[in-house]
């Protein structure tokens, strides 16, 4: 049996494959309006976290 706790690190092909399949399924099974509404429907704390992350990324890009 494969050790699922082992971290394969960057280039994890299995994780990449699952991610791509999930994205493909989401795109094929929802329309753009559904995805846009889901993206707008975030909590205040998630919004604040996203804004902080964006500012952090901008400040790093300027350096």
Q: What is the pLDDT of residue 2?
A: 59
Judging by beta carbons within 10 Å of its beta carbon (0-12, 13-18, 19+), is residue 17 exposed, middle or buried? exposed
Q: What per-residue confidence (pLDDT) applies to 5?
A: 62
pLDDT recorded at residue 51: 93
Question: What are the residue boundaries of the structural domains of the chain, listed by start?
Answer: 13-62
Task: Out of 7-11, 32-36, 40-44, pick the least confident.
Answer: 7-11
- pLDDT band at residue 55, thresholds of 50, 70 and 90? very high
Please state, rounded to an integer, the average pLDDT across all residues of the chain.
86
43: alpha, beta or left? (left if phi > 0; alpha if psi -120 to 50): beta
């Amino acid at each position: 049996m494969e050790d699922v706790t082992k971290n394969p690190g960057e280039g994890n092909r299995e994780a990449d494959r699952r991610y791509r399949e999930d994205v493909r399924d989401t795109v094929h099974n929802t329309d753009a309006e559904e995805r846009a509404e889901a993206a707008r429907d975030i909590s205040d704390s998630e919004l604040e976290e996203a804004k902080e992350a964006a500012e952090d990324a901008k400040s790093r890009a300027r350096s």
